[in-house]
Amino acid sequence: SKMTVKAVKMPCTSANVYTKVPDGGWGWTVAFAFFVVEALTYGIIKSFGVFFNDLMESFDETNSRISWIISICVFVQTFTAPLSTVLSNRFGHRLVVMAGGLLVSAGMVIASFARGVVDMYVTIGIVSGLGYCLSFLPTVTILSQYFDKRRSLVTAVASTGECFAVFSFAPAITALKEQIGWRYSMLSVGMLQLGITACGSLLRPIVIREQEEVKAQPPEESTETKYMLENEQTCTSIESIDSGVDITTSPSNVPGKTKAEPKSEEPKQHGQNPVENKSTPPAPKTKLLDFSVMRDYSFICYAFFGLFATLGFFAPSLYIIPLSRSLGISKDRSAYILSAMAIAEVFGRIFAGWVLNKKPIRKIYIELICVVLLSVALVAFPFASGFWGLMICSVYFGFMLGTVAGTHIPLLAEDDVVGIERMSSAAGVYVFIQSLAGLAGPPLAGILVDTTKNYSSAFYSCATGMILGALFLALVRPCKTGLCRHHQKQQQQQVEESTAGPPPELPDDFIDMDIGKAENSGKGSDSV
C-alpha cells in the first residue's frame, strides 16, 4: 500500500503538511519565487556597475570609494546570515523574506535621493545589504525542503535568475538612464525590488509528518478472545507446563494489569492521525541557531572551502574588462566578453543540476571536480591573448563558475556535509564565514594590481584561493566517514558494557509463580 503524498489540506496561508518530501507540488511555486528573488538580489548587485561612472561624476569621488558601496553591501549581506537563520526559525521564512524585500526596496529608493557617497554606504550598503540577506538565504533554505531527489536540478535551474538578470538588467538600466537620468533609474529599480515581498508571500512553510496506514480491526473483538485464538493457533494450552514456564497470556493472569495490549500494536498507534492520538508527545522545540554544526569536522572543512573559494568568484567579473582593455580590445567587444560569461554561467548551472540529480552519485566529488576545473580557468586568464583568447577563457570560466555557484549552498543539505535537518543553521554559519573573504577579497586583489601594475596578479590570487578551497573540499568526505566510524565505535562500546553488566532482575511474582508451579509438579509425581 502506498502512502498518500499530501496528508493534510490546509488554507493557503497555512503550512503544507506532507507525509514525505513532495519533490514538486507547491515546491514549483517556491522555485519560481527563488528565481525572481535571485534576479532582484544578486542580479541587481552584479548590475550595479552601470551606476559607477554616474556616481563618480555626481559625487566627485574616486572609483575605489564608489566600489566600497557594493563591498559593504555584500559584507552586510553575508555577515548577518546567522541573524537571518534565527529570524526564520522564530517567525517563519515568509515573514522574513517579505521584510527583507521592504528593506531592499527602501534602501535603493532612499539612495536615489543621496547627496554623498556616505549616504550610499548607509542606504545601499547597510539597509539594502541586510534586506538582501533576509531575502535570499531563507528562500534557498525552504526550497531545499520541498525537494529531495530533484533538489540539485531544481535549485540550479532556479538560481539562473541571477544570470538572466545580469544579461538583461545592465542594458535596460543603461537605456533607462539616457531617458530619465540615473536617480530616477535607481528609484525605478528600488520599486521593482518590491517584487521580493510578493515572492516572499508565496513561501508557504512545509511540515513533514510521518504517517502509516492503519489496518482495520474488529471493534467488538476483546483482548481476551484475541489471546485465546492465538493460543489455539499455536496449539499451546494456557495451563501447559511442558517447557517448565507457565504461559499466562490471558489479561486476567497478568499481575498488576487490568488491561494488556501486545507490543505489535504500538507502531499502529504511531501511524494514526496525530490529532486523534492524544498520547503523542509534543514535538521538540526548534533551535533558533544550532551551533552544533561547528563541532562537525566535515562542516568545518566545507566552511573553509567556501571561505577560500569566495576569493575566486569575483575577479573575472571585476577585472575582465580592464584586462581586455589593457590588451588593446575595444570597449564594445570587451562588453561582449562579459555577456558571454553570463550566458555560459546559465548553462553551467543547469548542467551541474542535471549531473547532481543522477543516482547513485557522490555529489561532493562532482563538486570537487568542478572546483578544480574552475581553478584551471583562473590560471588560464593571464595566458590569454587577443579577443578570442579571452572569449574562450571567459566562456569556460562562466560555465565552471555556474557549476559551483549554483550548488555550493544546496550541498549543505546532503548527508556528506550536515544534512537537511540542520541546513538552516549551517547555511547561516557558512555564509557568515564567507563574508570575511567577500570583504577582504576585492581590496586584496586591488592592492596586488596596484603593486604589480598587472591585472594578471588578481587572477593568480583568486586561483590560489580556489586551489586551497579544493583541498578543504577534498577533506569533507573523509572527515564525515571518520566521524561516523567514531560514533559507531562508541555505540559498540556502550553495547558491550551493557551486555557485560549484571543480568536483569526478574519480577518477584514471576519467580513465585514459577516456583509454585514446580512444587505442584513435584507433588503430582509423588502421588504417582
Q: Does the predicted TM-score (pTM) go above 0.85? A: no
162-218 per-position pLDDT tens digit: 888 877 887 788 888 888 989 999 999 999 999 999 999 988 888 777 655 444 455
Q: Do the first three CATH levels of 17-210 and 289-495 match, i.e. the same topology? A: yes
**In the prediction, which pLDDT does 183 show?**
92
**In the prediction, which pLDDT does 450 show?**
76
Cis amide linkage into residue 360, ω under 30° from 0: yes
400: exposed, middle or buried (Cβ count in 10 Å: 0-12, 13-18, 19+): buried
**In the prediction, which pLDDT does 251 show?**
43
Q: Helices in 310-422 by DSSP H: which ranges?
A: 315-326, 331-356, 363-380, 386-405
**In the prediction, which pLDDT does 324 show?**
82
Class of domain 17-210: mainly alpha
49-98 per-position pLDDT tens digit: 778 778 888 888 876 788 788 888 888 888 888 888 888 888 888 999 99
d(CA 401, CA 395): 10
- The H-or-E segment that residue 292 falls in is none
3-class state of residue 515 by DSSP: helix
Ranges of residues in the chain whose predicted pLDDT is under 50: 1-12, 213-216, 221, 227, 229-230, 232, 234-280, 510-511, 527-528
Q: Measure Cα distances from 528 to 314, 316, 455, 466, 468 in Å.
A: 99, 102, 110, 92, 89
The residue ranges of DSSP E strands in 11-112, in sequence order, are 16-18
d(CA 402, CA 495): 48
d(CA 139, CA 96): 10
Show Cβ contacts of residue 455 under 8 Å, excluding neighbours closer than 6 positions.
Answer: 319, 322, 323, 326, 449
Handedness of CA 52, 186, 346, 153 (dihedral sign): positive
- The CATH superfamily of 289-495 is MFS general substrate transporter like domains (1.20.1250.20)
Domain ranges of the chain: 17-210, 289-495
> Residue 43's closest CA among 135, 145, 155?
135
- Alpha carbon of residue 354 to chain centroid: 18
**In the prediction, which pLDDT does 152 show?**
75
